[in-house]
Structure formats: C-alpha cells, structure tokens
Amino acid sequence: MQRGMIGLGRMGANMVRRLLKGGHECIVYDRSTQAVSEMVKERAIGTESLAAFAKSLTKPRAVWLMVPVGAVDSTIADLLPHLDSGDILIDGGNSYYVDDIRRAKELADKGIHYVDVGTSGGVWGLERGYCMMIGGDAEAARRLDPIFATLAPGPGSIPRTPLTGKPWARPSAVICTAVRTARATSSRWCITA
C-alpha cells in the first residue's frame, strides 16, 4: 500500500523504514531536505514541497502527519489546498482529543477523512513495532488496515497467556481496533491463533 509521511524525525523516519521493510511504498516530505535525502537512500520517494508531495500520491491519498502537536493545524492548513474529497489525513502524534474532534468535523465538511492515531513506540518502534490508538471514521480506518498491521508489534517470542479457566480468556493474542467518531464509537475485535 502507498502512504505519505510528513515529518521525518526519529519516530516518523523509523515508521517509514518499518513500512518500507513491509513492502509499502512511502512518499515523504519534511522541512529538512537532509531528512528527506536520508529516506530516499532507503528507497522512499522524496519530495521538496507539499504540492509535489500531494501530487506524488495516488488518489485517494493516505497522508500521515508525524509533526509536533503545535504544528499539526498549520501543517493541515498548508496541505489542505492540495487534498481532495476521499483523501485520508492521519495525525500520529498525541494531540488533545478535543482538537482531533474539531479537525475531524472541519475536514469532513470538505470530504476528507481524519484519523487520529496516537502512536507509541519511540525509537524502538522500528524493531519492536508501534502501539496505536486509532480513532476516526470506520471506513477510513479499514482502508488503512495494511499500514496498521505492518506498524503494529507482532507476537514475537512472548509466551502465550495460559488459559485461566474463564470463558473469555484464550491462549492467543487479541488485537483490538477501536474507531471513534464525533457521534459514535465502534470496535472490531479479532483473535489470532
């Protein structure tokens, strides 16, 4: 799957690396041309402006922001003229949820899906994977499932939890994706063997 990343700090760059290793195509942009050049050396497609970034993405676009919380609104404002109805904008930072609800409403009026993905994993996420709290339009979140699956930690070598005798306890990994919108919340559960 193709995905765009704006913000190539330590976490954003490592997320791109993990996605590239997982076979995804990544279009990248950062104010630092050096950060973009480093990602290009690792097979990402670099761009020098937000206009070129948006033009390089196949429609409908999936754009992930990994910028400081104070720069989210200004980055969205600069990017918005280059987006179209049906595109998905993902904020991977730790924005205040009230701001996320506001952004989702404002972008919905333009036909753009907003997905809030609080991301944790730091510099170790490249190796271990990232924990994500996903909130937004359920349809948009489902379209992003291949990206989330690649970024998420796998079961690794952690021993399975033994069955405790309780009917809800299972000796398997459980993955939950909660999708929150301004009006409703839905969850999808899947138990993996």
> Is 139 contained in some domain?
yes
User: What does the DSSP assignment read for 68-100?
Assistant: -GGGHHHHHHHHGGG--TT-EEEE-S---HHHH
Strands 62-65 and 2-6: parallel
Confidence check: pLDDT of 78 > 60: yes
Q: Which domain range does residue 62 map to? A: 2-155
User: What does the DSSP assignment read for 166-189?
Assistant: -TT--SSEEEEEEEE-SS-EEEEE
ω into 68 cis (within 30 of 0): no
Domain total for the chain?
A: 1
Q: How confident is the model at residue 158 (pLDDT cuts 50, 70, 90)?
A: low
CA distance 138 to 129: 23
How far does CA 120 lie from the centroid of its chain? 11
Strands 45-46 and 131-136: unpaired
> Is 43 contained in some domain?
yes
> Is 12 contained in some domain?
yes
Cβ-based neighbour number of residue 33 at 10 Å: 10
Q: How confident is the model at residue 189 (pLDDT cuts 50, 70, 90)?
A: very low
Q: What is the pLDDT of residues 88-120, one digit of tens each?
A: 999 998 888 999 999 999 999 999 999 999 999
Confidence check: pLDDT of 171 > 90: no
In the chain, the percentage of residues whose pLDDT exceeds 70 is 80
> Is 193 contained in some domain?
no
> Is 62 contained in some domain?
yes
Question: Around 83, how many Cα atoms within 13 Å sit in the side-chain half-sphere?
Answer: 25
**What confidence score (pLDDT) does residue 137 get?**
87
Average pLDDT, the chain: 85
Q: How confident is the model at residue 154 (pLDDT cuts 50, 70, 90)?
A: confident
Confidence check: pLDDT of 164 > 60: no
Closest-CA residue to 64 (of 85, 89, 47): 89
Q: What is the pLDDT of residues 35-77, one digit of tens each?
A: 999 999 999 999 999 999 999 999 999 999 999 999 999 999 9
> Is 191 contained in some domain?
no
Find the mean pLDDT for residues 151-159: 73
**What confidence score (pLDDT) does residue 184 get?**
40
> Is 172 contained in some domain?
no
CATH number at residue 80: 3.40.50.720
Tokens linked to 140: 């948009």
Cβ-based neighbour number of residue 2 at 10 Å: 15
Q: How confident is the model at residue 157 (pLDDT cuts 50, 70, 90)?
A: low
> Is 165 contained in some domain?
no
